[in-house]
Amino acid sequence: MTRLCLENISVEYNSQKVLDRVCLEVETGSNLAVIGRSGSGKSTLLRVIAGLEPPASGLVLSNDEVLSEPGHILIAPERRRMAMVFQDLGLWPNLDAEQNVRLGLSGLRLKRAQARRRTTATLERCGVAQLAHRLPGTLSGGEQQRVALARALAVEPVLLLLDEPFTGLDLVTREDILQEVERLAREQAVTLVVVTHDPSEAERLCDVAVVLEAGQVVGRGPLGELVRNSTSPIMARYRANKAKDVS
C-alpha cells in the first residue's frame, strides 16, 4: 500500500451524523495526525480506516482497491496491513502479554514456530520481554501501552493506527512511550495515523494533519502550518497556550 484514501466518508448512529463527508489521504512515509475534541468523531474515523466499521456512504481505497463501500467491509481488518492500538488498549485481560501478542497474529496464518519467534522478537523490541507471562491487570499503564504496541507491531503493519495513545500516562512515562513509538515506527518503516486531542503529541510524531470538528474536516495540511494558522478552536487554544509559555 502506498496511499490510503477516504472519499466522502459518512457514518451515522441513530440517524445522527458522526462523520460527515470526510475526505483524507494517507501517504506511506508521511505520518498523519487526526486532531479534534472529544466527540468529534476521531475514533469512529479510525475504525472505518481499520475496517471495523463500514461507512454509511463513501469509499475507503488503498491505491485503487476498494476496501470499504457503503454498508460493506470488502477487505477484512486482518488483510489490510494495518494495526490499531485502541483508546482503551483492548488487551484481553485473561491472557498474558505473550498470549495477547500471539492471538493478535492469528489472522495471519503463520506457522507456529514463526508466530512464536515473531512474538518474542516484538516483545523484546518493545521492551516488555520480561513481562511476557504477566496478565494485563498486573501491569502499569505504561507497560500495558507497550504490550498493546507490541501486539499491533507484531503483525508488521504498513499503517499503525493509534487512538489517543498517550492519554492517562504520567509525563515521564508519556515521554518514554512517545520516544519508543518514534523509534519503532522509524525502524519498522511504519506510517502512523495518530488520533489525539493534544496538538503537542501530533507535533512530535506527525508531518501532516486534519482537524475534525463535529464529524467534519475543518483544516488540513502540513502540521506546522495548521499550528500557525488554523482558526479552529482546538488549534487556536493551543497557539494561545504556546504563546503564554514563551512569554
Chain residues that interact with Mg ion, rule: CB under 5 A? 42-43
The item of ligand ADP, Mg ion, none sharing an interface with residue 18, based on CB under 5 to 8 Å by kind, is ligand ADP
Round to whole Å and give the CA distance between 136 and 241: 36
Q: Is 43 in the site for ligand ADP (CB under 6 A)?
A: yes
Q: Is 42 in the site for ligand ADP (CB under 6 A)?
A: yes
Distance of closest approach, residue 45 Cβ to Mg ion, in angstroms: 9
| Sites for ligand ADP among residues 14-33 (CB under 6 A) | 18
In the complex with ligand ADP, which residue's Cβ is closer, 53 or 176? 53
In the complex with ligand ADP, which residue's Cβ is closer, 44 or 191? 44
Distance of closest approach, residue 202 Cβ to Mg ion, in angstroms: 15
DSSP string over 26-85: EETTS-EEEEE-TTSSHHHHHHHHHTSS--SEEEEEETTEEEEETTEE-S-GGGTTEEEE
Closest residue by Cα to residue 48 from 4, 112, 15, 97 = 4
Q: Is 199 in the site for ligand ADP (CB under 6 A)?
A: no
In the complex with ligand ADP, which residue's Cβ is closer, 36 or 55? 36
Distance of closest approach, residue 87 Cβ to ligand ADP, in angstroms: 7
Distance of closest approach, residue 12 Cβ to ligand ADP, in angstroms: 9
The item of Mg ion, ligand ADP, none sharing an interface with residue 13, based on CB under 5 to 8 Å by kind, is ligand ADP
* Grid cell of 37 as nine digits: 475534541
Print the SS3 string covering 121-145: HHHHHCCCHHHCCCCHHHCCHHHHH
Q: Is 39 in the site for ligand ADP (CB under 6 A)?
A: yes
Contact 60, 66 (CB under 8 A): yes
The item of Mg ion, ligand ADP, none sharing an interface with residue 63, based on CB under 5 to 8 Å by kind, is none
Closest residue by Cα to residue 80 from 51, 122, 42 = 51
> Angle at the Cα of 43 (from 8 to 80), degrees rounded to 5?
70
Distance of closest approach, residue 34 Cβ to ligand ADP, in angstroms: 8
Q: Is 36 in the site for ligand ADP (CB under 6 A)?
A: yes
Q: On the CB side of 172, how many CA atoms lie within 13 Å of its CA?
A: 0
In the complex with Mg ion, which residue's Cβ is closer, 11 or 131? 11
Q: Which residues of this chain interact with ligand ADP, rule CB under 6 A?
A: 13, 18, 36, 38-44
